[in-house]
Structure 1
């Protein structure tokens, strides 16, 4: 039986981006359960399921794209903050953005997300995010 570990959720409609992020996490030796979602709707379902899992207390790092079909990143954030506080506890939502369409949009995202990182994210930036938000997932 595998030991319990924190979870990293990669949310992006661009499969090659998710594949690169997953590859970098593997290269960094990250000890976490990595799951993927191509849109905010599927991501929200995964977050809700995570809330009821034994790994919930170990933390969840969500790396979220903003521009996606079905449910975009801002809609995901708006739904995420409506989850029970116990479900949101231990969860960091990092938005990856190539830029915000306007200042009002930026303020809304900033208010709902843990942090915003500008694209492109590189392996060193990804390592820094994991180190800051899921330090137990990195090898000593």
Structure 2
């Protein structure tokens, strides 16, 4: 992998979904660091560790499922709003959801950068990378 500061955090309690996205990123030869979390609590810890790793937080694309145990995606988004400004500015959050209620979608729209329906396909994933981590997209 080329030396890059771009990172993607895959937040989904479904291991097959994370595995599929990791495979796609490898097949596309996307130059990113990949982090994973099974719930919002793990994701918050990953975000904090990622942003504290350098003086200036590096670009972070968070692909966030809404429906997860321990801490769901909406609760993660609410906690994100209380992180230091530099962390928030480094982070782009794209919500991925299969069938939330309209109320959940509206709340997510107000707190996230973009909403995508699950399942994503490889072309949608590549477009997100090109849009939010352009230096990482090589395919």
Report what 1:63 is aligned to.
63
Partner SS for 1:137: coil
Distance 1:136 1:56 in 2: 17
CA contact under 8 A between 1:7 and 1:55: conserved in structure 2? no
Report what 2:47 is aligned to.
47
Distance 1:63 1:56 in 2: 21
CA contact under 8 A between 2:56 and 2:86: conserved in structure 1? no
Alignment of 1:8-27 (within 5 A): 8-27=8-27
Shift of 1:55: 8.6
Report what 1:30 is aligned to.
30
Partner SS for 2:125: helix
The answer for unaligned runs of 5 or more in structure 1 is: none
Report what 1:129 is aligned to.
128
Q: Structure 1 residues 127, 31: closer, same or farther in 2, change over 3 A?
A: same
Q: How many residues align?
A: 138
User: Structure 2 length normalisation: TM-score?
Assistant: 0.93
Shift of 1:133: 0.4
Kindly report structure 1 stretches of 4+ aligned residues shifted beyond 6 Å: none
What CA RMSD, in Å, does the superposition of the two structures yield over aligned residues?
1.6
Report what 2:104 is aligned to.
105
User: Structure 1 length normalisation: TM-score?
Assistant: 0.92
Report what 1:139 is aligned to.
138
